[in-house]
Amino acid sequence: MKYYILILLVFMSISLSFSQQDSQYTQYMYNTQVINPGYIGSKDVLSFGLLYRSQWVGFDGAPETGTFTLSSPIGEAKKMGLGLSIVNDQIGPSTETNIVVDYAYALMFSRVSKLSFGIKAGVNILDVDYTKLNIYDTNDSQFSENINNKLYPQIGAGIFYNTDKMYVGLSVPNLLNSKHYNTDNIDDINVDEFAIERLHYFLIGGYVFDLNENLKFKPATMVKLVDGSPIQADISANFLINEKITLGAAYRFDAAVTAMAGFQITNRLFIGMGYDYQTTDIETYSDGSYEVFIKFDVLKNVERILTPRFF
SS3 27: coil
CATH number of 24-180+196-298: 2.40.160.40
Q: Are 274 and 259 in contact (CB under 8 A)?
A: yes
* Residue (of 250, 289, 297) closest to 52 by Cα position: 289
Q: Between 13 and 257, whose confidence is greater?
A: 257
Containing 239, the helix (H) or strand (E) segment is strand 232-241
End-to-end CA distance of the chain: 51
Per-residue pLDDT tens for 185-238?
444 444 444 456 678 999 999 999 999 999 999 999 999 998 777 888 999 999
pTM to 2 decimal places: 0.82
* Residue (of 310, 47, 37) closest to 159 by Cα position: 37
Q: Between 295 and 7, whose confidence is greater?
A: 295
pLDDT at 16 over 50: no
- Domains of the chain, by residue range, sit at 24-180+196-298
pLDDT at 301 over 60: no
Per-residue pLDDT tens for 128-162?
887 777 776 666 666 667 888 889 999 999 999 99
Containing 2, the helix (H) or strand (E) segment is helix 2-15
- 68-81 as b/e: b if 16+ CB within 10 A: ebbbbbeeeebbbb
* Residue (of 265, 267, 252) closest to 293 by Cα position: 265
